[in-house]
A = this chain, B = another copy of it.
Amino acid sequence: MHHHPENDPQYTGLTVNEGVASPPVINPYLQTRKKRQTFSSSEYAEEIRKGNITVLSQAVTLVESQKPEHQTVAQEIIEKCLPYSGNSMRIGITGVPGAGKSTSIDAFGMHLIHDRGKKLAVLAIDPSSERSKGSILGDKTRMEELSREQDAFIRPSPSAGSLGGVARKTRETIILCEAAGFDTIFVETVGVGQSETAVHSMVDFFLLIQLAGTGDELQGIKRGIMEMADGIIVNKADGDNIDRANLAAAQYRNALHLFPLPPSGWTPKVLTYSGYYKLGIPEIRNMIDEYTDFTRKNGYFDARRHSQSRYWMYESINEQLRNNFYQSPEIEAALKEKEQQVLRSEISSFAAAKQMLDLYFKK
């Protein structure tokens, strides 16, 4: 059986940058006063557009910060970078832990940089990440080769207290990376809660990494994810696992046929590959290129981006409307008891809702 590093004990911990030399993320607000450079938002934007990775990192750190003064500057930088954004291929990548996501991103990213001359940013959405622990995603120790590339920019997931916050900051980071000249953006996620839905709504192509599973059984796919996928790639198609990988791919193709054509009009494809042995990687890129050509021609590529921009505007509005209601102290106090009344069948769901809304709108 071939050696797969995901199974090595040292890769199972939540460690970031342990033992591997990599360029530090410069956070001007954690350094001593002597070294701190204070740029205006215009200067940030100018340096970013020149491709200055150091300044890009600093700007992304501002975007990720929860402090209001950082947020103000960050928003100005974003607005200045916005006209220079949009020129990249945004690819979402998901897969269960153990599917070999980091190794695959490493292999795929190196191919794009070396064989296709791309500049690649790797971002991550992981709402469970905490400041102290870091996230298992965007872990440079697991993307050994990419983390040493000049043309690769890797960031772990922001932590923001809610999926909505994390998704927003990631989308804003995409704007900055595109303004800095990155023409390919990966957004990876590990399948916690609704994170795949968030990633799917900010990318042009959604890639699902699967394994062949054990014995006769296919590896399960989280409900709702299969239908989001524009492509499914079955990993570890190497050595004596090749037959099982091919069989799994055939089964996924059959399952996809049960569904009508997605709105893109493009039939999602299923490929096999090996992230560790770097087999089948160019074919994955070709599939994505094929999809891009097809959807640019039929208008879906642009329609999807417009629809996503609209979605994020309305999603932000709706989230803030809810926050304003549910975080109101009077509402918080009354809500639990109202819910209990509903569960005890003392009042109907709708009567309960009406009472809560009357309370809120009287203010």
A324 proximal to B (CB < 8 A):
yes
Known contacts A252-B258, A310-B342; decide if A320 and B353 are in contact (CB<8 Å): yes
Contact with B along A79-122 (1 / 0, CB 8 A): 10011011000000000000000000000000000000000000
In the complex, which residues 151-178 of chain A have their Cβ closer than 8 Å to any Cβ of chain B? 168, 171-172, 175
Number of interface residues of A (CB under 8 A): 61
Check B342–A220 contact: CB distance below 8 A.
no
A351 proximal to B (CB < 8 A):
yes
Check A260–B313 contact: CB distance below 8 A.
no
Partner among B171, B260, B322, B349 whose Cβ is within 8 Å of the Cβ of A220: B260
Known contacts A259-B220, A260-B223, A347-B79; decide if A313 and B338 are in contact (CB<8 Å): yes
* A49 vs chain B, min Cβ distance (A): 15
Quick one: copies of this chain in the complex?
2
In the complex, which residues 324-363 of chain A have their Cβ closer than 8 Å to any Cβ of chain B? 324-325, 338-339, 342-343, 345-354, 356-357, 361
A75 proximal to B (CB < 8 A):
yes
Known contacts A227-B223, A343-B306; decide if A349 and B259 are in contact (CB<8 Å): no
CB neighbours (8 Å) of A321 from chain B are: 321-322, 325, 357
A1 proximal to B (CB < 8 A):
no
Check A350–B258 contact: CB distance below 8 A.
no
Partner among B258, B342, B354 whose Cβ is within 8 Å of the Cβ of A309: B342
Check A348–B223 contact: CB distance below 8 A.
no
Check B258–A356 contact: CB distance below 8 A.
no
A30 proximal to B (CB < 8 A):
no
CB neighbours (8 Å) of A251 from chain B are: 254, 258
A224 proximal to B (CB < 8 A):
yes
State in angstroms the CA–CA spacing of A226 and B260 once bound together: 12
User: Mind listing 11 A-B residue pairs with CB under 8 Å?
Assistant: A78-B351, A221-B259, A224-B227, A255-B258, A306-B343, A311-B349, A318-B318, A320-B357, A321-B322, A321-B325, A321-B357
A312 proximal to B (CB < 8 A):
yes
* A347 vs chain B, min Cβ distance (A): 7
Check B313–A322 contact: CB distance below 8 A.
no
Check A83–B345 contact: CB distance below 8 A.
yes
Interface residues of A (CB under 8 A from B): 75, 78-79, 82-83, 85-86, 168, 171-172, 175, 217-218, 220-224, 226-227, 251-252, 254-255, 257-260, 262, 306, 309-314, 316-318, 320-322, 324-325, 338-339, 342-343, 345-354, 356-357, 361
Check A172–B348 contact: CB distance below 8 A.
yes
State in angstroms the CA–CA spacing of A168 and B353 once bound together: 12
CB neighbours (8 Å) of A310 from chain B are: 339, 342-343, 349
CB neighbours (8 Å) of A227 from chain B are: 223-224
State in angstroms the CA–CA spacing of A301 and B252 once bound together: 32
15 further interface pairs, Cβ-Cβ under 8 Å (given A221-B260, A313-B353): A172-B350, A222-B260, A255-B255, A255-B258, A309-B342, A309-B349, A310-B343, A310-B349, A314-B353, A316-B350, A316-B353, A316-B354, A317-B325, A317-B353, A321-B322
Check B259–A175 contact: CB distance below 8 A.
no
State in angstroms the CA–CA spacing of A310 and B340 once bound together: 9
* A232 vs chain B, min Cβ distance (A): 11
Known contacts A324-B361, A356-B317; decide if A351 and B79 are in contact (CB<8 Å): yes
Check A258–B226 contact: CB distance below 8 A.
yes
State in angstroms the CA–CA spacing of A272 and B316 once bound together: 46
